[in-house]
Amino acid sequence: MIPIQQVQLSLLWLLVGTASATPLSLVRLDVDDGPAVAADLGAAGFDVLYPSVQATTLELIASDQGLQELRLLGHSPVVLRVGAPLAPPGLAVLPGYPDLDTVVARLEAVETGGC
CATH of the domain at 104: 3.30.70
- What pLDDT is stored for residue 16 in this prediction? 47
- Count of structural domains within the chain: 1
* CA 1 centroid distance within chain: 29
**Per-residue pLDDT, 77:** 97
pLDDT 10s digits, 20-74: 457 889 999 999 999 999 999 999 999 999 989 999 999 999 999 999 999 999 9
- Domain of 27 in residue numbering reads as 4-111
Q: Is-above-0.85 flag for pTM? A: no
In the structure, what pLDDT confidence band is assigned to residue 93 with cuts at 50, 70 and 90? low
Summarised one tens digit per residue, pLDDT across range 12-24 is: 444 544 444 578 8
Q: Where are the alpha helices (DSSP H) in the chain?
A: 4-21, 34-43, 64-72, 100-111
